[in-house]
């Protein structure tokens, strides 16, 4: 069994930063301590005081397979994720066909096996007519059930109130929601189309997909969760207005939790002028005051989870007029770099980033033996080098071939990533072969 000893690391785990060594035996973390001695034949890596983190767990990605492989697939996007220190991903159901039953769910797991560079889980989607599939879902086969309470992509909007109530009543896993009120959005879109036609300036996207639409839908989801005592996780909170709907404190014991995404912490309305449709996403990136409030909410434990909502599209698609330019942006490869900028700026600690981007999703979704630096856990690890790194298009591994961070210089870079004990990224290129495993959920 191959063994690697990482020495002189600055370990960041469970609220602490401390100097130590870590031994990998096979797929697992075998030993954590100080002054560990190398064994015969063991590979030794001197971390030289650099930070060693558990691999990040991204609870919200759109890897586009099946049906949209021309812009992304499980191999390319998981490679980009591993290069960015994200060792586990949970993929959304709005593919083609959508993931609405157990057969479609298992098809995704088969597609990922042997091709995914990171560990993988797949959500079951909800629709107006698949309640039976939700009720019969084995909770060990999916992290949760995704409910689009506002139409975003595809035909998965759940807008029948009786069905929605039944889903919240009967779901055997956490419910994961996209919350935007579709009638409010449709009314604003019609108003702007009357003035601009299809070529609406991108700067109006946060007015069309408004803060009021977000808050109204989030309030509905929370009211249903309270009615049925549902385990609810609201995705991609984008406004200061919604934050008052959530309670601060540690994730343990919470029945209702909130996630925000990296782009809401690094971009705001002012960036539409230069980036246009490249940062068009649903829900929309909003005002500078929202960005500041969201950062504070992460620091104060109102926001429980950080994620990417990685949703790639081609540059040709993004160049279309507003009404036909799709929403979403590729983020997995540089999301951790972007999050660590908040550490350099003194807004968060590294331990807080690790808590929100690794520990919390592992707890929320009952992920077995991942998300922490613990003996016996899978050796999903990330070594961080505090050296400047400027994002260049030629470095982008996502199939879409671009990043909203192009030209930006980060003060940290991903030096190494291990997945299940194997080095998968050496700071320059991918290493070996895809080594991701199907997630196990302790339910």
Peptide bond into 70 cis (omega under 30): no
Burial class of residue 296 in the structure, from the number of CB atoms within 10 Å of its CB (0-12 exposed, 13-18 middle, 19+ buried)? middle
* CB-based contact 416:386 (threshold 8 Å): no
The 3-state DSSP class for residue 364 equals: helix
Please name the residue that has the structure tokens 């990482």.
6
Beta-bridged to residue 88, according to DSSP, are: 57, 119
Work out the burial of residue 439: count CB atoms within 10 Å of its CB; fewer than 13 is exposed, 13-18 middle, 19 or more buried.
buried
- From 309, 355, 366, 395, active-site residue: 309
**Coil, strand, or helix at residue 415?**
strand
Question: What are the DSSP calls for 161-216, one per residue?
Answer: HHHHHHHHHH-SS-EEEE---HHHHHHHHHHHHHHHTT---GGGHHHHS-HHHHHH
Rg (CA), the chain: 21
Q: How far apart are CA 339 and CA 330, in angstroms?
A: 15
Contacts of 294 (CB under 8 A, 6+ apart): 237, 238, 240, 243, 260, 264, 265, 303
Question: 135 is written with which tokens?
Answer: 């009720």
Beta strands in 1-106 (DSSP E): 3-13, 16-25, 28-33, 43-46, 51-54, 56-61, 86-91
CB hemisphere CA count around 359 (13 angstroms): 20
Q: Classify 99 as helix, strand or coil.
A: coil
DSSP 90: E
Q: Is 160 a catalytic residue?
A: no
Active site residues: 309
């Amino acid at each position: 069994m191959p063994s690697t000893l990482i020495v002189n690391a600055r370990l960041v785990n469970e609220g602490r930063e401390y100097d130590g060594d870590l031994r990998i035996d096979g797929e697992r973390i075998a030993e954590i301590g100080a002054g560990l001695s190398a064994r015969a034949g063991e590979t030794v890596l001197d971390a030289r005081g650099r930070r060693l983190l558990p691999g990040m767990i991204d609870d919200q990605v759109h890897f586009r397979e099946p049906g949209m492989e021309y812009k992304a697939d499980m191999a390319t996007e998981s490679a980009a994720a591993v290069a960015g220190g994200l060792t586990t991903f949970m993929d959304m159901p709005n593919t083609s066909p959508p993931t609405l039953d157990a057969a479609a769910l298992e098809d995704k797991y088969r597609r990922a096996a042997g091709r995914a560079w990171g560990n993988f889980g797949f959500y079951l989607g909800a629709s107006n007519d698949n309640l039976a599939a939700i009720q019969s879902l084995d909770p060990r086969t999916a992290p949760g059930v995704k409910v689009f309470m506002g139409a975003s992509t595809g035909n998965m909007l759940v807008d029948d109130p009786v069905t929605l109530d039944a889903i919240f009543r009967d779901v055997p896993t956490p419910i994961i929601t996209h919350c935007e009120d579709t009638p409010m959005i449709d009314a604003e879109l019609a108003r702007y189309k009357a003035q601009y036609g299809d070529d609406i300036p991108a700067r109006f996207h946060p007015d069309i997909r408004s803060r009021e639409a977000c808050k109204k839908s989030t309030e509905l989801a929370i009211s249903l969760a309270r009615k049925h005592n549902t385990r609810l996780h609201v995705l991609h909170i984008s406004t200061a207005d919604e934050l008052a709907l959530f309670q601060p404190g540690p994730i343990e014991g919470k029945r209702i939790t909130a996630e925000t995404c990296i782009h809401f912490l690094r971009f705001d309305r002012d960036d539409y002028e230069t980036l246009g449709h490249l940062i068009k996403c649903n829900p929309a990136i909003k005002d500078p005051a929202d960005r500041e409030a969201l950062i504070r909410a992460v620091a104060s434990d109102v926001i429980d989870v950080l994620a990417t909502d990685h949703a790639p599209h081609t540059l040709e698609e993004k160049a279309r007029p507003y009404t036909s330019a799709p929403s979403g942006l590729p983020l997995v490869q540089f999301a951790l770099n972007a999050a660590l900028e908040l550490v350099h700026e003194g807004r968060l600690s590294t331990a807080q980033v690790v808590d929100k981007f690794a520990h919390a999703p592992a707890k929320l979704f009952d992920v077995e033996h991942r998300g922490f630096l613990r003996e016996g856990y899978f050796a999903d690890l990330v070594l961080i080098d505090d050296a400047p790194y400027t994002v260049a298009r030629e470095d982008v591994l996502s199939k879409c071939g671009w990043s909203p961070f192009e030209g930006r210089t980060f003060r940290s870079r991903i030096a190494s990533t291990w997945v299940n004990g194997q080095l998968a990224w050496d700071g320059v290129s991918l290493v070996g072969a895809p080594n991701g495993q199907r997630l196990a959920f302790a339910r």
